[in-house]
Structure 1
Amino acid sequence: MATPQYLAPVPDWQEHEKPSMPGSPSMPWHPPWRRVAYALVAILVGITGALGNGLVSANLPVLQGQLGLTPSEGAWISAAYVMVNVTANLLVFKCRQQFGMRWFAEIGLGVYAVLTLLHLFVGSFATTLIVRAASGLAGAACSTLCLLYMLQSMPRTHTGKMMVIGVGIGQLAAPLAWVVSPALLDQGGGTWHNLYLFEAGLALCSFAAVVVLKLPPGVQIRVFEPLDFLTFALMAPAVGMVCAVLVQGYLHWWFDTRWLGWLLIAALLLIVAAVFVEHHRANPLIQTRWFANGATLRFVIGGVILRFLTAEQSVGAVGFLRAQGMGPDQFQPLFAVILAGMVIGILACSISFTPKTLVPQILLSIVLFAIAGLMDHHRTSLDRPQDFYVSQFLLSIGAGMFMGPLMLIGIGQALKNGPAYMVTFSVMFSITQTMGGLVGSAVLNTYQLVREHEFSASLVATMDRTDPMVATRLAQQSAALGAVIGDPVLRSAQGAAQLAAVARRESNVRAYNDVFMFSAVTAVAFLLWLLALLGRTALTRRLAERRAAPLPSTLPSSLPSSTAQPPPARP
């Protein structure tokens, strides 16, 4: 490797103060009050980076109604955040190394806050997309900034525990958004302005906190090359196109919309071009050869599936309750329980953290995912949010536990090959987590729609008007409307429509039960696959140790000397 070109003089740090790599801050001694301040800023910045998107997801029906948007346009609002967030991570690590993390964070947070304030005065669909894109850029900076600030809150001996907490803080934003949303919408007429005003205030507070309490200086080296920007220009739109397809696919339906296929073709061509460029570079931005490693491929698959399993909460539980007519007010206690579960999961993972507990923690989280799915697969239309407390609490503990260990395992694999592989790992980790969530949402929503249509067709086929039970139910429906509808024909038609609505509701219930079971089966299958891999690895290691063990050079002295001689010949 070439000698790094330093952009500033390197301070004369003591050994324990040196940054772990270029782009990371140094680790000097801090008084206790300053360590507490670093921890508080980490929490503020980490929540700010993801809370805006959480508020939009929690209140998307409200935003669609007040802005006059279709479901497809509403989906673009969420997609804008994800598309920018995942592509910005392509350059975040090198920005840290060459310009410093504070520079990138101040620009991201400043632009985010200004655009959010401007959106309050304009309030169009176009400005909504721009603000969400700026939120994605700020989120990419805030997630890294949260981790770096949290590392300053404790001595270096606790780095692993602080990394677990720093990675997990961003996960708290989604349930926190559901908890605070009803209070925000109850103020000032319940418009979307309250959500964006709160979001802008958080961005300004985080901007001020980052400026006032700066990270310790680190080492800055020249790392950017012209081909880095070519790779970014190829990969960013490709990843954005894939995100768009995953978000819009089940709304427009996968095989009925031609432009979805064209987006996938264009994305594939751009990815192939980017891989070709990176594969033949001397100092690539993305280490393409690393992906040919079996351990890397297994890490990617595992990361996607873990994030896929967490989608059961947003698609399964939330979708089920929304289909029963539940709104943000009814969701608030449930997500308070979920928030508590995530906090407990993150803290438990941090407290029990050792290099030997990383894999058991991930396995335990998968077990919790499976238990939650099995507990929810028998729901009925009479179930309400309080019936989901136990299952979603267990699922949220698992969601809070797996992220830190997964990241630490990936960092360990990357550093075995050298610091240059950290850029590839950063991009890979971001994409697996983002794509895993999008794939989970797309697959589970698609599966739910397919099963709902099948159950609905089955129920409607059995609803024969000549059946005494169906005729009695129709008569009851019509009689209940007698006080408000005088026309018997119209009353009969309305009664039939209400019965059809009941059939649709029950079809949705059965479909969501299948979604819960599908998630549980996936978790069990994934757990068995991991156990098989671990068993194979342990067996391979044991056989290698046996082969490497030295063979005895002499016979044991306890054997009688006659055993070493051939037996006497018979006459």
Structure 2
Amino acid sequence: MSQAPAAPVAHPPLPLPQALAYMGASVVLALSQGLGQGFVSANIPQTAGDLGITTTQASWLMAAYMIPRASLPLLLIKIRTQYGLRRFAEVGIIAYVVVAFASVWISDFRSAVVVQTLSGAAAAPLSTLAFMYMLEPLSPQWKMRLGLPAAMAVMMAGPTLARVVSPALIGDGGLTWVHLTALGMAMVSLMLVFRLPLRPVPHMKVIQPLDFLSFLLIGVGFAGLTIGFVMGPIHYWSDAPWIGVLLAVSVAALAMAVAVELNRAAPLLDIRWLASPAMLHLTATLFLFRLILSEQSAGAPRMFQMLGVAPAQMTGLFAIIVGASLLGGLACVAWIRPDRVPVLHLAALLLIALGAFMDAHSTVDTRPEQMIVSQALIGFAGMLFLPPAMMAGLVSALARGPQYLLSFVIVFISTQSLGGVLGSGLFTTLINHRQAAHYATLTEQLAATDAPTAQAITGRMAALASQIPDAATRRLQAVGQIAQDASAQATVMAYNDAYLLTAGIALAAAAALILHMLRDRLALRMTPPTEPDTTP
């Protein structure tokens, strides 16, 4: 039987110059991980063209990257505890550099899938290292107040920043400069990890043989969910029976993992604690928030892509989102307190509802400049929500003992990694369904015998007269243009529906939070005051 993890060692804070160096290393590590993930998700069409494959095949690269990112952290904390921080950091960063170097030589689809899977596995320790390097030089009271929001702000900004720099890196040369940039960031990270070693903590033998069985089952479950929700909207679920089989296998694997963990004396996950009302509430909160944040990751960028807006035209919008996220992190540094968590969450939900409601008035003529304010509000709100939620979870876990830290970290990572994938999949599925419904309605209204439609066809034919002499061909071209316009209009209407639904969910969550806060305040007032002890 393994020993329980020891309590964290309280190292004294480092001098200011050294502290700034460690915090700078944290920023580089977080950006390396965030840019690596963002380069995959932001450049799916470009990757497809570079490898000579379809965008559907290229979507497998995103699934391959996310599978180890979601499941590998299960073992990383135990590996770190058993083998030491320094060895963990050095082996992790060397693996990341090796994989980044291999990505430069990707030449076909199979090698790309293998390398992206290895990239996701190698990137998994980087988020942990970014946190540790940000917290390492700080005193205990500043670890939560400054270190946690700062690390999360940079990590959340990384994938969006990738959309800012990708168009300039791609240019006319394919993805070569993208891969070289990732390799350069990895090599700088390697230098920083070896130049600025983390201070050691006591080693403990915590890994048990049954941990690998639990990890295998949970990994299979997470992998199936990731693949299902990445590929499901593309194949539209019911058109691909294998997706249903895969999801069923995933649920069965997770159920088996729960059964194994419930019958262990020293489980990898404390299922009973995770199933407590407080932890279920926190898990649901994190998951719900990740779902509604899909409005930003799977909403505006894809809508503009469908409207023919080039990636280079969206860089200004994404730069503003990055800036708003960093400002949200600074706001958290100023305002974050354990007793202010509900207020910060309420403010975040209201800002998201406002931003999504503003986006719900989009038209086919909407361009990135018109969404700057709304998307900045959502980016700012993201940083008002996640650090306080993580702080509340960490405080709750550490109050019960260091051995509960692993269970909370897995909840947080799974809700963020899996929640992002599931949220994007559900958001895209809703868009596909509503787009089909709106397009069917619009095409019914565009009967050729209808006077406005006939007038529109005549006008288009007149505009094409100088280019296409044949009248029949000209008419087909005009009808095709009108159908294309109807498709674009249906797409925007579908996104507006999704934005409005997001705003409604955020408002409903805010209303539930207000009721919860009122209940807590009422319970506090009804609690009789404690009599002071006057015994001599």
TM-score by length of 2: 0.95
Gaps of 5+ in 1: 6-20, 551-571
2:161 corresponds, among 176, 184, 191, to: 176
Paired position in structure 1 for 2:51: 67
Query: Could you report, residue by residue, the CA deviation over 1:382-438 in whole angstroms, capped at 9, with x for unpaired residues?
Result: 111100110011111011221111111111221232211111111111001112211
Counterparts of 1:495-534 in structure 2, within 5 Å, are 495-534=478-517
Query: Could you report, residue by residue, the CA deviation over 1:235-290 in whole angstroms, capped at 9, with x for unpaired residues?
Result: 11111111111111111112221111111121122112111111011110000111
Identity %: 32
Moved more, 314-323 or 531-540: 531-540
Paired position in structure 2 for 1:32: 16
1:456 aligns with 2:410: no
**For 2:239, what is the secondary structure of its paired residue?**
coil
Gaps of 5+ in 2: none
1:255 aligns with 2:234: no
Q: Do the aligned residues in 1 keep the contact of 2:274 with 2:407 (CA within 8 Å)?
A: no
Query: Could you report, residue by residue, the CA deviation over 1:66-119 in whole angstroms, capped at 9, with x for unpaired residues?
Result: 212223212111111211011111011111211123323332322232223223
Counterparts of 1:15-54 in structure 2, within 5 Å, are 22=7, 26-54=10-38
2:404 corresponds, among 410, 421, 440, to: 421
Q: Do the aligned residues in 2 keep the contact of 1:25 with 1:148 (CA within 8 Å)?
A: no
1:134 aligns with 2:118: yes
Moved more, 523-532 or 424-433: 523-532
**For 2:237, what is the secondary structure of its paired residue?**
coil
Counterparts of 1:432-447 in structure 2, within 5 Å, are 432-447=415-430
Which amino acid counterpart does residue 100 of structure 1 have in structure 2? Answer: G
Query: Could you report, residue by residue, the CA deviation over 1:327-383 in whole angstroms, capped at 9, with x for unpaired residues?
Result: 111011111111110010011111222222222112211111001011111111111
Q: Do the aligned residues in 2 keep the contact of 1:485 with 1:491 (CA within 8 Å)?
A: yes
Question: Using the alignment, how far apart are the partners of 2:2 and 2:429 within structure 1?
Answer: 50
Question: Using the alignment, how far apart are the partners of 2:398 and 2:258 within structure 1?
Answer: 22
Which amino acid counterpart does residue 351 of structure 1 have in structure 2? Answer: A
Query: Could you report, residue by residue, the CA deviation over 1:501-525 in whole angstroms, capped at 9, with x for unpaired residues?
Result: 0111111111111111011001001
Question: Using the alignment, how far apart are the partners of 2:56 and 2:253 within structure 1?
Answer: 25
Which amino acid counterpart does residue 92 of structure 2 have in structure 1? Answer: G
1:165 corresponds, among 138, 142, 150, to: 150
2:77 corresponds, among 87, 93, 96, to: 93
Larger radius of gyration: 1
Paired position in structure 2 for 1:367: 350
Paired position in structure 1 for 2:95: 111
Q: CA RMSD in A?
A: 1.8
Question: Using the alignment, how far apart are the partners of 1:25 and 1:549 within structure 2?
Answer: 38
2:264 corresponds, among 243, 262, 281, to: 281
Question: Using the alignment, how far apart are the partners of 1:58 and 1:532 within structure 2?
Answer: 39
Deviation of 1:25 (Å): 6.2
Q: Do the aligned residues in 1 keep the contact of 2:226 with 2:422 (CA within 8 Å)?
A: no
Which amino acid counterpart does residue 50 of structure 1 have in structure 2? Answer: G
Which amino acid counterpart does residue 219 of structure 2 have in structure 1? Answer: A
Question: Using the alignment, how far apart are the partners of 1:34 and 1:228 within structure 2?
Answer: 38
Which amino acid counterpart does residue 477 of structure 1 have in structure 2? Answer: R
**For 1:235, what is the secondary structure of its paired residue?**
helix
- Report runs of 4+ in structure 1 exceeding 6 Å deviation: none
**Matched length:** 531
Which amino acid counterpart does residue 128 of structure 1 have in structure 2? Answer: A
**For 1:224, what is the secondary structure of its paired residue?**
coil
Closer/same/farther in 2, CA of residues 125 and 293 from structure 1, 3 Å limit: same
